[in-house]
Amino acid sequence: MNDLVALHAPLSDALTAAVRRVVDSGWYILGPEVAAFEEAFAAYCGAGYRAAGPGGLHAVGVGNGTDAIELALAGVGAGRGSRIALAANAGGYGTTAVLALGAEPVHVDVDEDTATLDPALLERAGRETGFDAVLVTHLYGRLADMPALRAVADAHGAKVVEDCAQAHGAAHGGRRAGAWGDAAAFSFYPTKNLGALGDAGAVVTADPDVAERVRRLRQYGWDRKYHQVDGPARNSRMDELQAAVLGVKLPHLDAWNARRVAVAARYAATIRHPKLTLPDVTAPSHAGHLYVLRTTDRDALSAHLRAHGVPHDVHYPVPDHRQPVHGDRFACLDLPVTERWCAEALSLPCHPGLDPAEVDRIAAVLNVFGA
């Protein structure tokens, strides 16, 4: 599904130098490399859009993407007893973060075409059950309908947090993922469009007070060493090594995204099968993180691909409200579109190292499915 060795090969000297620089510095946690990457990533997310206030966007490096969601929500004031609206088809990371805060998930169904939160259904949830915050996941690399979702949240007095783990660089109207919400969470897991050599994440916000609170909450609630003033807090710090690696890779992100979208375009031009529904992967609103088609014969298609040696995956087979850990907590919840997506979605390889001949071979295998 990914070829990180090939992705990193042209950057080998720069990555080695970055690692050596950190090793030689003797400073490994929350040092100058983290500060430099935070500044660069905030500038990247804010490029083309002037965030509110003269300071632009702020980025706060944390340990991973799920911590970033939790800390972003806490940063905008969500906590125990808060009601947080979110989708249930995005792998469980958002629901995990919501529950870790002691908050209540309000699962809302998604749009049939985009698999992201449906603004009309979010509005209904606001009227029927209410919510204090909205967690919007830009799923598979597609920017959700942020103008409409933001308008609904604002009408209900709710904060908005973006889950941008799969959408680094996606944009609408010149405004990138991470610049729409009151805060945004990013993952830099190695397979993301911008990936570290391990776990890392960040919270991005235009609000300096939110940024400062997240900085406290990522490190025990300290405002200075051993002086705890905020909480509940955690230990979730980006390390210097990952920041240095991300700093090397960030300037290549747009080119890598363009190659992902080109792979998707070639799939769209070469896959011809009546049982397969193909996604619309169009830049700049889609960063091409995953190429996810739909079929009602997923198990048979998966067996066909395995027989022909084609890598593939399912993102994500079990919706959050049907995960066994929750028992009967959400037994009465009906999310028909979410459940169809989870039953039908299948991901094909879509990464910068995939060459046209490989894409054509995968398409050829798909085109003879069931023949």
Which CA distances in Å does 255 have to 142, 170, 279? 17, 12, 21
Domain-ending residue, one of 223, 251, 279: 251
Comparing CA positions, the residue from 11, 351, 355, 349 lying closest to residue 197 is: 11
pLDDT of residue 54: 57
Domain-ending residue, one of 251, 271, 295: 251
Is the pLDDT assigned to residue 47 strictly greater than 90?
no
Report, as an integer, the average pLDDT of 29-57: 86
55: confidence class by pLDDT, cuts 50, 70, 90: low
Q: Are residues 261 and 155 in the same domain?
A: no
The whole-angstrom distance between residue 169's C-alpha and the CA centroid of its chain comes to 11
Cβ proximity of 168 and 253 under 8 Å = yes
DSSP category for residue 191: T
Comparing CA positions, the residue from 148, 195, 204 lying closest to residue 176 is: 204
Q: Are residues 230 and 286 in the same domain?
A: no
How many structural domains is the chain composed of? 2
Q: Are residues 32 and 163 in the same domain?
A: yes
The CATH code of the domain that includes 190 is 3.40.640.10
pLDDT per residue as tens digits for the range 221-265: 999 999 999 999 999 999 999 999 999 999 999 999 999 999 999
Q: Are residues 171 and 291 in the same domain?
A: no
Question: Residue 331 burial (CB < 10 Å; 0-12/13-18/19+)?
Answer: exposed
Count Cβ atoms below 10 Å from residue 81 Cβ, excluding itself.
10
Query: Whole-number mean pLDDT of the chain?
Result: 96
Domain span at residue 275 reads: 253-367
pTM to 2 decimals? Answer: 0.96
Q: Are residues 244 and 265 in the same domain?
A: no
The CATH code of the domain that includes 340 is 3.90.1150.10
pLDDT per residue as tens digits for the range 82-95: 999 999 999 999 99
Q: Are residues 160 and 226 in the same domain?
A: yes
Domain-ending residue, one of 251, 279, 308: 251
List Cβ neighbours of 136 (8 Å cut-off, separation of 6 or more). 86, 116, 117, 144, 146, 149, 160, 161, 162, 163, 180, 181
Is the pLDDT assigned to residue 79 strictly greater than 70?
yes
List Cβ neighbours of 326 (8 Å cut-off, separation of 6 or more). 320
Calpha distance 161→150 (Å, rounded): 10
Q: Are residues 189 and 86 in the same domain?
A: yes
Count Cβ atoms below 10 Å from residue 32 Cβ, excluding itself.
14
pLDDT per residue as tens digits for the range 262-284: 999 999 999 999 999 999 999 99
371: confidence class by pLDDT, cuts 50, 70, 90: confident
Q: Are residues 139 and 49 in the same domain?
A: yes
pLDDT of residue 56: 87
pLDDT per residue as tens digits for the range 154-197: 999 999 999 999 999 999 999 999 999 999 999 999 999 999 99
